[in-house]
Structure 1
């Protein structure tokens, strides 16, 4: 066998765990700039090359994790694939339950989307649209969840447990999106610098909030598939357009506002029971005895 059958990470100090996370995040973001095309980030050639880069990084990241791991046969040691949430048991529940939970949270935006779906026609740009869809809805969600959740949480978990991990881990995910500031400034078409910085700060905040939710899903289910599927769904939905409610008539706007509130309240009530570790056979990310 090329690597130990069972490993653990409890031997690492907190500083070493943070160092491992920084290294993983740095390698992923650096891979995006490995190609110097001089083209915008959404140009098909740039997108294709970045897809290759992040897929290579996803192959290297587990090896970095192995380097930081310690071989063991103890009762808290598991195969690396199990730490990474790459399990086949309870797979259907792990994919469906978190998605339903997230859809409950997005009840308002989903209803709004259906209302807006009247007679809008989509312009077809086959190649450009397909490659952007591949990046936004498949590659980016998988690569980000694999790096920022599956590879970082195993080293953070022994020190932080559930609450600490949900607070600390999203910081790396939020900071990783700051690189968009550089791209926006370099491709600035006249937007004020302050506007670009505020936009990036807003992106940092909401990606950090999503990162916390995604960490929670990963640690509660012990599966990677739930966070990936939810990330795909959230990328498709985008950030809720609260201001868009005002474009409708009074009664429709009031109905929409109610659906937004009901979705949020229902989500809060369902969060714990729907992510109960027992539903997913999760014995990895449970309180250390």
Structure 2
């Protein structure tokens, strides 16, 4: 246990009283989520086709490069609008009269977890390693398949250029995670925090907005696969799975954001999870039956490492969302 010297007392007193009610915070956060999803349907350019795919073509679907490009522009503008909304809320209630920050803009950046300064160190990097530790099992299986960077079956063009430099790559591994985390983590949690909502509720329930924001994928699935009973079943399964997965991930990302006071660890975790996909140990054991015990051991070690590092490696003495005078570092 190491003592972390407390910063200026004005840091902890900054906006210590709720600026508005919890109900108002929930309405605002729902408005943020609705704005982010709603812009995808305001224009014909951003709407995915309502007809089934023809011969496997992505034209007109959500994976059509033209639709992806239009949607990325739309959600980027929506994200900027939500961030400006945080600025407006702070300016309306506090203005420039603060002891700790010179301007409301600085206060907004602090609330959004955007770094006012950056000094590289292990303390600033270790929070980014927690989620990769959880994926030790899939990483070990990829190593067995010689698919990790610089291994035999890894190729620069298919594994890097084609995957990350396409429009789908920009959406899945860059602008998508960044804008979603800024809106559904930074903006939503900032509003809930301004209302004086407790940390437990913020971690447990705020991510539901992130989960609900993915329901529209079910509607697109229903339209894409023929608007019939089979399409409805597929859409319901898609919605339930994405609601569960995104809510659980949202809870983890909320924890990372609040513990570190930075939006960067949630963004890196989001990108890494998108790269790795859903772990499937049974399939990996089927591919490498000789290493069955080793694969399951790697999964267990990854889970154990994640549990033991989650609290310690995310400790940040100056997070306004999780203030600590004693940092267990």
TM class by smaller structure: 0.7 to 0.9
Between 229-238 and 83-92, the greater mean CA deviation after superposition: 83-92
Q: Is the 8 A contact 2:285 2:295 kept in 1?
A: no
* Residues 1:149 and 2:148 aligned together: no
Between 160-169 and 140-149, the greater mean CA deviation after superposition: 160-169
Structure 1 pair 230/124, CA: closer, same or farther in 2 (3 Å)? closer
Q: Deviations over 1:108-163 (max 9, x none)?
A: 11112222326477499969961110010001000000000111111212433321
Alignment match, 1:263:
302
Q: How many residues of Structure 1 are paired with residues of Structure 2 in the alignment?
A: 280
- Distance in structure 1 (CA, Å) of the matches to 2:281 and 2:236: 22
Alignment match, 1:243:
282
Q: Shift of residue 247 of structure 1?
A: 1.1
Structure 1 pair 73/54, CA: closer, same or farther in 2 (3 Å)? same
- Distance in structure 2 (CA, Å) of the matches to 1:141 and 1:36: 24
3-state SS in 1 of match to 2:311 = helix
Q: Deviations over 1:12-38 (max 9, x none)?
A: 101000011000000000111122144
Matches within 5 A, 1:24-35: 24-35=32-43
Equivalent of residue 98 in structure 2, options 73, 85, 91: 73
Q: Is the 8 A contact 1:10 1:155 kept in 2?
A: no
Structure 1 pair 218/123, CA: closer, same or farther in 2 (3 Å)? closer
Matches within 5 A, 1:152-231: 152-157=188-193, 158-188=195-225, 191-231=230-270
3-state SS in 1 of match to 2:44 = coil
Alignment match, 1:23:
31
Q: Shift of residue 271 of structure 1?
A: 0.8
Q: CA RMSD in A?
A: 2.8
- Distance in structure 2 (CA, Å) of the matches to 1:31 and 1:227: 23
Between 190-199 and 44-53, the greater mean CA deviation after superposition: 190-199
* Residues 1:105 and 2:105 aligned together: no
Q: Is the 8 A contact 2:259 2:321 kept in 1?
A: no
TM-score by length of 2: 0.77
Q: Shift of residue 199 of structure 1?
A: 2.5
Q: Shift of residue 10 of structure 1?
A: 1.6
Which runs of 5 or more residues in structure 1 are unaligned?
Answer: 1-6
Alignment match, 2:169:
133
Structure 1 pair 35/115, CA: closer, same or farther in 2 (3 Å)? farther
Between 58-67 and 22-31, the greater mean CA deviation after superposition: 58-67
Q: Deviations over 1:158-191 (max 9, x none)?
A: 4333211101111000000111001101111585
Q: Is the 8 A contact 2:134 2:303 kept in 1?
A: yes
- Distance in structure 1 (CA, Å) of the matches to 2:278 and 2:163: 25
Alignment match, 2:84:
63
Q: Which has the higher helix share?
A: 1
- Distance in structure 1 (CA, Å) of the matches to 2:236 and 2:99: 48
Q: Is the 8 A contact 1:220 1:285 kept in 2?
A: yes
- Distance in structure 1 (CA, Å) of the matches to 2:137 and 2:163: 32
Equivalent of residue 68 in structure 2, options 23, 47, 50: 47
